[in-house]
């Protein structure tokens, strides 16, 4: 096995990982250099697909203010958002947007060159910046990728999966990585490992997330002993394009509703006023459950979004990606109803961190969707995720600047035994039908741990997942990326089910039909590996 050492290693090349790389390179002393690892190609991630935009509370936007953004975020968060986190992220948005502009990111502007703001559900004012109309994530990511690729001080490993963290005595000393193209393993030592590995959308049958969103970083951190938080809170987006056979679903941005589109049944009858006075712009969990309920009652696979009330020129300019994608399926969004249905979209839970990105393990940091900072609480407000990615990337860089990064010298027995597992060339592994196993797990999560849950459905899921885990013969080393991903998906699924069973109330995106009320007491779910091991 090859060995290397770096002052800092960032795992993941979404917006959180890319921006962290640039800020760390710019500010932190890195005697042993900086490594960015990604299991995809550099520009491939959830970030790339972000449409609606990024919240920005800009000082010169007179209609907005930090208190107003804090209030909207906390209301959507269903009691679980942390005030100090929300305030920190909101207050820093002006500075990070200005910094992104310096890195070449462009946001859409009006004819007077002023930034354009849009509105999405549960925001009280227009405060969302967008780029390329509805291609915000792609535009930000492309600009950051360009800067990272040009930067000679950032070493990049593509097609490389982090497969296990090297942790002993609650301190992270490195990571084992696996090159999916060559099949080679490498031990990378570092005293600062930053997980920016994104979310878990692929745990569900229907998702807006691309194939890589398998919760890897969350599973790695959990297995290494890190504290996990609010794992039962999975956000389902109400309006993914519902085309038969498509399980990875293209998103129809909430911004389309923000501009006036209405939800209706196949006869054009609007229904949102039955569910919430804010109708289409109610918080995401409410709109999702409304769509789901309409589909159940009418025995249909979708509801419809009617955007024909929006000026057709404006639609084409504001939503070029959505217009094009729908046209590929014969849907003209200026005239036709768009078939939509809920799909798993975002993970509010994850690795518990503070505002410096620190996890409960020394030397291990987490940022972006993999982290649970307490910003989103039980239900994320639209477009707050990209903001969290960049503010937290910025703040982890600030923190690393203030400490001395010493690459670990002493490798103890515990670390050595982890490395030995991956150095063993003699293990013979039979090839498994991982795609079928992944599909089975995705179906279980969708059917039993989805938009509505109850004790019976969760216990069924628990039993099935335990069995699948017991049947998966890979506790040492896997054959390929698919197997590593499946292993991680099983771990994260088990944690979601466990926390969902424990939360005997409905709050935000976690809706228990057997406990439909919200408790007065509002507490985070917190779990570590030793506790789970005691649970049957
Ligand atoms: P990601 O962008 O998911 O990047 C994760 C990276 O980690 C990838 O490069 C992946 O390859 C890598 N990785 C994962 N596991 C490993 C491993 N084991 N080893 C090595 N590398 C690994 N949010 C908003 O705020 N506004 C929006 O408009 C918006 N629209 C969205 C639209 C869609 C369709 C989707 C799916 C999400 C949207 N979101 C939006 C959410 C937002 O895009 C994500 O939460 C955010 O981009 C996450 O960024 P990230 O950097 O944390 O992770
Ligand atoms: C969307 O454009 O609807 C997605 C926005 C988000 O997930 O924040």
Task: Classify residue 279 as left (phi > 0), alpha (psi -120 to 50) or beta.
Answer: left
Is any atom of ligand 2 closer than 6 Å to the C-beta of 483? no
Please name the residue that has the structure tokens 């009418």: 298
Mutational pocket test of ligand 2: of 137, 208, 255, 285, the residue with most ligand atoms within 8 Å of the beta carbon: 255
CA-proximal residue: ligand 1, atom 9 (nearest): 13
Range in 34-38, 156-160, 330-334, 404-408 with the lowest mean pLDDT? 404-408
DSSP 333: T
State how far the Cα of 301 lies from the Cα of 244, in Å rounded to an integer: 9
**Sign, Cα dihedral of 18, 67, 199, 237:** negative
**Length of the chain, in residues:** 536
CA of 386, closest atom in ligand 2:
8
Q: Which residue has the higher pLDDT, 477 or 342?
A: 342
Distance CA 18, CA 328 (A): 32
CB distance 253 to ligand 2 below 6 Å: yes
User: Which DSSP state fits 239?
Assistant: E
Neighbours of 83 (CB within 10 A): 11
Q: pLDDT digit string (tens) for 62-93? A: 999 999 999 999 999 999 999 999 999 999 99
The pLDDT of residue 92 is 98
pLDDT at 534: 56
Could you identify the atom of ligand 2 that is nearest to the CA of residue 345? 7
Q: How confident is the model at residue 473 (pLDDT cuts 50, 70, 90)?
A: confident
Contact by Cβ (8 Å): 454, 447: no
Instruction: Give the ligand at the shortest distance from the Cα of 55.
Output: 1
350 C-alpha to ligand 1 centroid (Å): 13
367 CA closest ligand 1 atom index: 52
> How many angstroms is it from 227 CA to the middle of ligand 2?
28
- Quick count: other Cβ atoms within 10 Å of Cβ 321? 18
**Distance between start and end Cα atoms, the chain:** 37
Nearest residue to 17 via CA among 140, 172, 190? 140
The closest-lying atom of ligand 1 relative to the alpha carbon of residue 37 is 20
Distance CA 93, CA 289 (A): 31
Is residue 533 very low, low, confident or very high in pLDDT (cuts 50, 70, 90)? low
CA of 240 to the centre of ligand 2 (A): 11
- Ligand 2 atom at minimal distance to the Cα of residue 384: 8
Cα 97 from Cα 79, distance rounded (Å): 28
Q: Which domains does the chain have, with CATH numbers?
A: 234-345 (3.90.700.10), 431-527 (1.20.58.100)
CA distance 82 to 73: 10
Q: Which helix (H) or strand (E) holds 366?
A: strand 364-366
Q: Tell me what pLDDT residue 438 has.
A: 98
How many other CB atoms are there within 10 angstroms of residue 155's CB atom?
15
**Ligand 1 lined by 177 (C-beta under 6 Å):** no
d(CA 331, CA 327): 5
Please list the active-site residues.
Answer: 284
Q: What is the band of 426 on the pLDDT scale with cuts at 50, 70, 90?
A: confident
Distances (CA, A) of 251 to 55, 129, 321, 380: 18, 18, 10, 16
Quick: pLDDT tens for 461-471.
Answer: 999 999 999 99
* CB of 12 closer than 6 angstroms to any ligand 1 atom: yes
Q: What is the DSSP string of 397-464?
A: HHHHHTS---------HHHHHHHHHHH----------HHHHHHHHHHHHHHHSSSSB-HHHHHHHHHH
Q: Is 198 in the pocket of ligand 1 (CB under 6 A)?
A: yes
Mean pLDDT, range 490-507, rounded to an integer? 97
Please name the helix (run of DSSP H) or strand (run of DSSP E) that holds residue 468, with its range, or none.
helix 455-470
Q: Which of 47, 49, 51 to mutate to test the pocket of ligand 2 (most atoms within 8 A of CB)?
A: 51
Q: Which ligand is nearest to the CA of 47?
A: 1
pLDDT above 50: residue 536: no
CB of residue 344 inside a 6 A radius of ligand 1 = no
Percent of the chain, pLDDT > 90? Answer: 92
Which residues are registered as beta bridge partners of 179?
160
| pLDDT (mean) for 44-56 | 95
Other beta carbons less than 10 A from residue 459's beta carbon: 13
Q: What is the pLDDT of residues 177-231, one digit of tens each?
A: 999 999 999 999 999 999 999 999 999 999 999 999 999 999 999 999 999 999 9
pLDDT, tens digit, 9 for 90 and up, residues 228-242: 999 999 999 999 999
Least distant ligand from the CA of 237 = 2
Q: Inform me whether the pLDDT recorded for 55 exceeds 70.
A: yes
């Amino acid at each position: 096995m090859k060995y290397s050492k770096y002052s800092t290693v960032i795992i993941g090349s979404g917006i959180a990982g890319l921006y962290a790389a640039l800020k760390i390179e710019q500010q932190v002393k890195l005697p042993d250099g900086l490594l960015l690892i990604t299991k995809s190609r550099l520009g491939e991630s959830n970030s790339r697909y972000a449409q609606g935009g990024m919240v920005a509370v800009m000082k010169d936007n007179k209609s907005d203010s930090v208190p107003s953004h804090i209030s909207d975020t906390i209301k959507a968060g269903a009691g679980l958002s942390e005030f100090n986190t929300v305030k920190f992220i909101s207050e820093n948005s002006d500075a990070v947007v200005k910094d992104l502009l310096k890195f070449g990111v462009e946001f859409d502007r009006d004819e007077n060159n002023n930034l354009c703001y849009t509105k999405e559900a549960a925001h009280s004012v227009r405060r969302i910046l967008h780029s390329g109309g509805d291609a915000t994530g792609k535009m930000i990511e492309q600009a950051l990728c360009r800067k990272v690729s040009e930067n000679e001080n950032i070493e990049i490993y593509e097609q490389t999966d982090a497969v296990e963290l090297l942790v002993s005595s609650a301190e992270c000393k490195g990571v084992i990585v696996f090159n999916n193209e060559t099949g080679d393993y490498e031990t990378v030592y570092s005293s600062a490992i930053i997980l920016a590995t994104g979310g878990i959308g692929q745990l569900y049958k229907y998702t807006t997330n691309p194939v890589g969103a398998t919760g890897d970083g969350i599973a790695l951190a959990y297995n290494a002993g890190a504290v996990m938080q609010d794992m039962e809170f999975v956000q389902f987006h109400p309006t993914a394009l519902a085309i038969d056979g498509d399980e990875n679903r293209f998103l129809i941005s909430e911004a389309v509703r923000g501009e006036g589109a209405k939800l209706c049944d196949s006869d054009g009858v609007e229904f949102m006023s039955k569910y919430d006075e804010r109708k289409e712009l109610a918080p995401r969990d409410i709109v999702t459950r409304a769509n789901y309920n309409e589909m159940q009652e009418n025995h249909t696979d979708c509801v419809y979004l009617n955007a024909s009330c929006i000026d057709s020129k404006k639609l084409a300019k504001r939503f070029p990606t959505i217009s094009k994608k729908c046209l590929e399926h014969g849907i003209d969004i200026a005239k036709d109803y768009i078939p939509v249905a809920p799909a798993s979209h975002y993970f509010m839970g994850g690795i518990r961190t503070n505002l410096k990105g620190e996890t409960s393990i020394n030397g291990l940091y987490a940022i972006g969707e993999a982290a649970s900072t307490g910003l989103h609480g039980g239900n994320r407000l639209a477009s707050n995720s990209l903001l969290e990615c960049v503010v937290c990337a910025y703040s982890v860089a600030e923190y690393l600047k203030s400490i001395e990064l010493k690459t670990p010298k002493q490798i103890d027995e515990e670390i050595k035994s982890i490395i030995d597992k991956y150095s063993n060339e003699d293990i013979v592994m039979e090839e498994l039908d991982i795609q079928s196993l992944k599909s089975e797990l995705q179906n279980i999560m969708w059917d039993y741990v989805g938009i509505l849950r109850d004790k019976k459905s969760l216990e069924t899921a628990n039993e099935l997942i335990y069995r699948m885990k017991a049947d998966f013969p890979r506790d040492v080393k896997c054959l390929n990326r698919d197997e590593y991903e499946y292993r991680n998906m099983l771990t994260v699924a088990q944690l979601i089910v466990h926390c969902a069973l424990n939360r005997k109330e409905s709050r935000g995106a976690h809706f228990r039909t057997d406990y439909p009320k919200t408790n007065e007491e509002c507490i985070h779910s917190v779990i570590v590996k030793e506790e789970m091991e005691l649970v049957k």
